[in-house]
Amino acid sequence: MKAVILVGGEGTRLRPLTCNTVKAMVPVLNRPFLEHMICYLRSYEIRDIILTLCHLPDSIRSYFGDGSKFGVKLTYIVEESPLGTAGAVKNAQRYLDEPFFILNGDIFTDLDLGAMLAFYKQTRAKVSIALTPVENPTIYGVVETDAQGRVRHFIEKPAWGEVTTNLINAGIYLLNPEVLSGVPQDTHFMFEHHLFPQLLDKGESIYGYSSEAYWIDIGTPEKYLKLHHDLLKRYGEGLTTQYSIHPSAQTEGKVLIGSECHIGPRVRIEGPATLGPGSRIEEGAQISGAVLWRNVQVGRQAILENCIAGDNCFIGSGSFIPQGSVLGDNVVIESKSNLPPSSRIWPGTKVVKH
Ligand code: GDD
Ligand code: MG
């Protein structure tokens, strides 16, 4: 079977992490997010994967190449201007002649694709949409079904008054390519706003496949951090690679340390936490729940709590980086600075102590 992954969005809600890095390449456990999605598809023997790209396509292409290093075959389709979710798949129509999977490029799940395919065949519908329960449906596509799972309404980002269920579109579809005839060529067109509501108006059957599988969309820094915490708690054993750690340093809980990290005396790292390759943590620093990208330097006695720091950040000694702070690449924090909680610092900014 083939799968199309939609990786054309700009990832604006993940800024400042996506100022220099496309959302699909944001590291999760020190590997690009998209690599996790490709491994997930491969685990179901789905090895023929089409990537629809738009924004910053080169970094994705140069990392994944033809896919052979990852055990898959990749086809890249680059849009000149964004075609929307359905328009992007229409643009790939020449590669699609049998039912295929479509995945939003920013979801992490262990949903059983084999069971979803069996359900799709059993219902004989032209479209199946994976559904997942969430607490706040208003930021997703809400999908109302009948008791058999047949979709009655699809409302993208509804107001609270329009919410009739906590089941939302999980961003995985099974599609019969025939339905692409309803999508105009070279036009911005969305599954969520256009194709699905139009198919329902015409009386076509769409089925929702609901499950309680793990599911998260890494659309915001909070969810990006939560994905790390969840994964480290579940799969955290045996994750460390080579690094140099001082005998008086301590780690507690699930901590992933990338290659060539240096961890100085009396450093304390409390998991779940991730240190990117080449990071350097100086004497007495304390890190808890943080995600650091590559080559981050943390000065003596600095304290980092549940925050994210992009590539090459420099955090001066004695600084305090509190809960929810997000530092873009190459941010420099002067010694003894105290950032307010949930700060968003743009790449390259120098924060001076005040
Ligand atoms: N190729 C291409 N071209 N990809 C696109 C385009 C485009 O013009 N626009 C968006 N995408 C990709 C994004 O990169 C992302 O992987 C996916 O389509 C969904 O876009 P988001 O911008 O992340 O949408 P969302 O999170 O607000 O909502 C979508 O996902 C929810 C689940 O996470 C919708 O599908 C909702 O209905 C759904 O509940
Ligand atoms: Mg999203």
CATH number at residue 230: 2.160.10.10
Closest approach atom of ligand 1 to CA 88: 1
Cis before 32 (ω within 30): no
- In the block, tokens 């990832």 appear at 11
Residue 262 Rama label (left phi>0; alpha psi -120 to 50; beta)? beta
For residue 185, pLDDT beyond 80 = yes
Ligand 1 pocket: which of 12, 106, 209, 222 to mutate (most atoms within 8 A of CB): 106
Ligand 1 is surrounded, with C-beta below 6 A, by: 6-9, 52, 54, 79, 82-85, 88, 104-107, 140-141, 156, 168-169, 171, 192, 217, 219
In this structure, the answer to whether residues 227 and 137 fall within a common structural domain is no
The pLDDT value recorded for residue 55 is 81
Closest approach atom of ligand 1 to CA 5: 16
For residue 237, pLDDT beyond 60 = no
In this structure, the answer to whether residues 121 and 254 fall within a common structural domain is no
Share of the chain above pLDDT 70, in %: 97
For 305-347, the pLDDT digits (tens) are 999 999 999 999 999 999 999 999 999 999 999 999 899 999 9
Closest ligand relative to 26 C-alpha: 1
Closest approach atom of ligand 1 to CA 191: 35
What is the signed CA dihedral for 277, 26, 42, 58, rounded to 10 degrees? Answer: -100
In this structure, the answer to whether residues 155 and 234 fall within a common structural domain is no
Number of domains in the chain: 2
Tell me the CA–centroid distance for residue 226 and ligand 1, in Å.
Answer: 19
In this structure, the answer to whether residues 149 and 77 fall within a common structural domain is yes
Contacts of 299-305 with C-beta under 8 Å, sequence gap 24+, read: 299/335, 300/264
End position of a domain, from candidates 219, 248, 268: 219
Confidence at 10, pLDDT banded by 50, 70, 90: confident
For 97-136, the pLDDT digits (tens) are 999 999 999 999 999 999 999 999 999 999 999 999 999 9
Tell me the CA–centroid distance for residue 238 and ligand 2, in Å.
Answer: 30
Closest ligand relative to 18 C-alpha: 1
In this structure, the answer to whether residues 208 and 245 fall within a common structural domain is no
For residue 243, pLDDT beyond 70 = no
Tell me the CA–centroid distance for residue 233 and ligand 2, in Å.
Answer: 23
Judge contact between 77 and 53, C-beta under 8 A: yes
Tell me the CA–centroid distance for residue 140 and ligand 2, in Å.
Answer: 8
In this structure, the answer to whether residues 13 and 161 fall within a common structural domain is yes
The set of catalytic residues is: 157
Nearest CA owner, ligand 1 atom 19: 104
End position of a domain, from candidates 173, 190, 219: 219
In this structure, the answer to whether residues 205 and 295 fall within a common structural domain is no
The pLDDT value recorded for residue 226 is 97
Nearest CA owner, ligand 1 atom 31: 140
In this structure, the answer to whether residues 280 and 196 fall within a common structural domain is no
Number of neighbours of residue 126 by Cβ within 10 angstroms? 18
The pLDDT value recorded for residue 189 is 97
Confidence at 354, pLDDT banded by 50, 70, 90: low
Confidence at 57, pLDDT banded by 50, 70, 90: confident
Nearest CA owner, ligand 1 atom 30: 171
Judge contact between 337 and 325, C-beta under 8 A: no
The pLDDT value recorded for residue 234 is 84
For residue 239, pLDDT beyond 70 = no
The pLDDT value recorded for residue 246 is 79
Report residue 109 as tokens.
């799940």
Higher per-residue confidence, 241 vs 152: 152
Strands 151-156 and 215-217: unpaired
The pLDDT value recorded for residue 236 is 62
Rounded Cα–Cα distance for residues 176 and 189 (Å): 17
In this structure, the answer to whether residues 298 and 255 fall within a common structural domain is yes
Rounded Cα–Cα distance for residues 229 and 71 (Å): 28
Rounded Cα–Cα distance for residues 285 and 272 (Å): 16
For 186-209, the pLDDT digits (tens) are 999 999 999 999 999 999 999 999
Tell me the CA–centroid distance for residue 292 and ligand 1, in Å.
Answer: 26
Q: What is the CATH number of the domain that holds 179?
A: 3.90.550.10
Looking at 56-60, 88-92, 132-136, 237-241, which range is the least confident one? 237-241
Looking at 195-209, 230-244, 287-301, which range is the least confident one? 230-244
End position of a domain, from candidates 196, 219, 242: 219
Higher per-residue confidence, 198 vs 253: 198
Q: Which domain holds residue 280?
A: 223-353
User: Could you say which DSSP state residue 157 is in?
Assistant: S
The mean of the pLDDT values for the chain is 94
